[in-house]
A and B are shown apart, each in its own frame.
Chain A
């Protein structure tokens, strides 16, 4: 894990410094993916019942426009989903960056995982794809 997987990485740069490690890059790109999954999961949770929607909404009261009605409207529980996603994004970024700031992680493997997880979360936000699966899960869960 602490070896540089890239063939160019063993080359010292012009200032004779060691080449940079990949840990901070992996931390910076994993954190938004976790934020996107939080967005997706909180969205589907809020669709289950009014009570769960209000629970998610409560996290977003701090955002201007989260409450209101009439022609001007409000963004409703979308504010809570954004807040939860922001919390997971920043918190996980801070933690992973601290843990991996000096660590070499396999970037080539992470590219595949990164793209795959982005494709999957995007599909899970597309209702014609995810709704039959959610209905099945809800019916088997009682």
Chain B
């Protein structure tokens, strides 16, 4: 490899990493600024938003790893185990902080009261759906984490098992995305 080729290769790597870090930081502002919103529930809102966005970012990255599992190509299982563990922890944080913010959602003169008065379908159909499906990613990713730690690197000899793990990661991501979008819509409709 010539020096020029090496520098160009390295430049691309630096740019990719810089883009990923900047995208993550800017995306986190979407919910991170909730901490400074003029409401008594800014801590709950900020925590839930930041954990949800972090879970989406980790979950989306994991979908790329999932395709490698499904195709049966070489996978670094050690790194994958830690990524799924981190994703599970973020999903758990999202569920716990979701419970916390849900208290205010249902509170007196909270978003639920306002939505039921002005746009009831968003509560009756969307929120009543969202509050349950957003609980799905944590147990699914907990199962994936358990499977990857339980089987260890030996799982690579069973293509059907690695495919199943990949599919479960994709399904978990889908529920995560549904929860994220519906949560954003409801927060836009009436903030806590």
Residues of chain A whose beta carbon lies under 8 Å from any beta carbon of chain B: 5-6, 8-9, 11-13, 17, 19-20, 22, 24-25, 28-29, 31-32, 35-36, 39-40, 43, 63, 65, 68-76, 78-79, 81-82, 85, 89, 107-108, 110-111, 114-115, 118, 122, 125-128
Contacts and interface: CB of A to CB of B under 8 A. Distances in A.
Given A22-B160, A115-B171, A32 B140 contact: yes
Contact of A73 (B110, B143, B157): B110
B151 A20 contact: yes
Interface of B: 40, 99-100, 102-110, 124-125, 128-129, 131-133, 135-136, 139-140, 142-143, 146-147, 150-151, 154-161, 163-165, 167-168, 171, 175
A82 B50 CA distance: 23
B160 A127 contact: no
B154 A20 contact: yes
Contact of A36 (B110, B128, B136, B154): B136
A40 B135 CA distance: 11
A86 B74 CA distance: 35
Q: Which 4 A-B pairs have the closest CB atoms?
A: A73-B107, A32-B139, A28-B143, A73-B106
Contacts of A11: 157
A25 B110 contact: no
B164 A29 contact: yes
A75 B167 CA distance: 32
B143 A31 contact: yes
Contacts of B158: 6, 8-9, 19-20, 22
28 contacts: A6-B160, A8-B157, A8-B158, A9-B158, A11-B157, A17-B154, A19-B157, A20-B155, A22-B160, A25-B147, A29-B164, A32-B139, A39-B135, A69-B108, A70-B107, A71-B107, A73-B106, A75-B99, A75-B106, A76-B106, A79-B99, A82-B99, A110-B164, A111-B167, A115-B171, A122-B175, A125-B129, A125-B132
B125 A126 contact: yes
A78 B131 contact: yes
